Structure 1
Amino acid sequence: MIYELRVYRASVGNLPALLKRFETTTLNLWEKHGIRQVGFFTTMVGASNNDLTYLIAWESLAEREQRWTAFQSDPDWISARAETDRNGALTANITNQILQPTAFSKLS
């Protein structure tokens, strides 16, 4: 199992709308495409309280490529993203890392 760590820096004032999009739309589409979330977090103390951080679990890089591509090209996602971004993008910046657990990790 590998994990993808993604950090979305919301545009100023858009964190509530970004959280709502994940809760009401994105997660349903992820379920449709077999994408497994590990957890979602907002920043309580840190560089920015406009950050949404989350982890996704993948069996392999090949699975990630197949499922993420299917999600990104889903017409329902394209429509939902366009609708929620109609007054400007909800995110200012997105970073991601693919992580491999150590032998002593509880997630391995």
Structure 2
Amino acid sequence: MLYELRVYECLPGRLPAINARFANHTMKLFERHGIKNIGYWTTDVGESNHELTYMVAFEDANQRAAAWDAFRNDPEWAKVTEESHRDGLIVKNVRNQLLTPTPYSPMQ
């Protein structure tokens, strides 16, 4: 299993918009395209309270590449993105890491 940790740094005041987009659309579209939802978090204590951190999972690197490609090219995603940007851009910066569990990790 390959895990991807992603952090979306939102523009000030736009965290509610990204949370709504994920809750109402993105998570379902991820699952449709083989992107497994693991967890979603906001920052209570830390560097920034304008961030959404989430983790998704894939079988392997090839499945990850195919899933992201299918997701990005989904016409429904294009519509959701356009609608969610009506009041302005949401995300200022995206950081991601690909993580592989250690042999002793409870999460395999």
Whether the TM-score (by the shorter chain) exceeds 0.5 is: yes
- Partner in structure 1 of residue 62 of structure 2: 62
Query: Aligned ranges for residues 1-108 of structure 1 at < 5 Å?
Result: 1-108=1-108
Q: How many residues align?
A: 108
With the length of structure 2 as denominator, give the TM-score of the two structures: 0.96
Displacement, 1:88? Answer: 1.8
Distance, in Å, in 2 between the alignment partners of 1:97 and 1:71 is 19
> Taking structure 1 as the reference length, what is the TM-score of the superposition?
0.96
Unaligned runs of 5+ in 1: none
Structure 2 alignment gaps of length 5 or more? none
Which range is displaced more, 25-34 or 8-17? 25-34
C-alpha separation in 1, matches of 2:68 and 2:6: 13
Return the alpha-carbon distance in structure 2 between the equivalents of residues 35 and 83 of structure 1. Answer: 22
Secondary structure of the structure 2 residue equivalent to 1:46: coil
CA distance in 1, matches of 2:98, 2:89: 24
CA distance in 2, matches of 1:102, 1:68: 24
In 2: Cα distance, 1:79 partner to 1:30 partner: 15
Percent identity over paired residues: 44
Deviations 1:75-103 (A, max 9, x none): 10011101111232111111101001111
RMSD after superposition: 0.8
CA contact (8 A) 2:34 2:58 kept: no
